[in-house]
Amino acid sequence: MKIRSTEDHNVKLHMTAMIDIVFQLLVFFIMTFKIVEMEGDFNVRMPLAAKESTSIEDVLPDLITVKLKVGAEGKIAGIDVDNGVDGDSYFDNDMYSRLTDFVEKTIDTEGDPSEAIETEIEFDIDYDLKYSYTVLAIESVSGKIVDGKVKKLIEKIKFKDNSEQSE
């Protein structure tokens, strides 16, 4: 019996099929690739509706109320602020930076840093005000950027319930 020698045969892998699949995968990932902008959060403390009947002033050591007033086309018309001792109204273009200054001043006058942490903001926002203006106000009271670093101001934020205003 003659045994065929296999020594001279070159074993060749067929790369075509693999390369086809690999390129299809590559095309799939390239087509579905999308650069997504990062998203961040503002945390809002919202007690249950049933607890709202209790007076907030009795529970909280300090409260700043911020009223955001709506103007034409859902834009912001003005901001009223009140910390129980002092109050002010802003209507000009730099109302947000003035709001930040007011909050910062209020916290600084607290003296005791632990009390500043306890300070809470309550937003009273007109129903039709566009959400982007609300976010700007939340940003203004949350902190400010000083020399490229974020200085935190107030972390406790809540909304006064105005959801029934339009009805």
Partner 1 sequence: MRFRKDNNSEIMEGDLTPMIDVTFLLIAFFMVLINFTEVDRAEEILLPKSRLAIPPTVRPDYQIILNLDVDGIVKFGGQQFDQIDFLDSALEREKSAAQIENVQPRDISVIIRSHQDTPTGLVQKLINKCQQVGLENFSLRVKEKINY
d(CA 20, CA 18): 5
Residue 68: name the closest of 134, 4, 162, 113 by CA. 134
d(CA 120, CA 123): 10
In this chain, which of 41, 58, 92, 147 binds partner 1, going by CB under 8 A? 41
Strands 149-152 and 143-146, bridge-based pairing: antiparallel
Residues forming a β-bridge with 100? none
Q: Which is nearer to partner 1, 116 or 137 (CB)?
A: 137
54 near partner 1, judged by CB under 8 A? no
72 near partner 1, judged by CB under 8 A? no
38 near partner 1, judged by CB under 8 A? yes
Phi, psi of 151 (to 5 degrees): -100, 115
127 near partner 1, judged by CB under 8 A? yes
In this chain, which of 20, 57, 88, 128 binds partner 1, going by CB under 8 A? 128
Interface ranges with partner 1 (CB under 8 A) = 15, 18-19, 22-23, 25-26, 29-30, 32-34, 36-49, 68, 74, 125-136, 138-139, 142-143, 145, 148, 150, 159, 161-163, 165-166
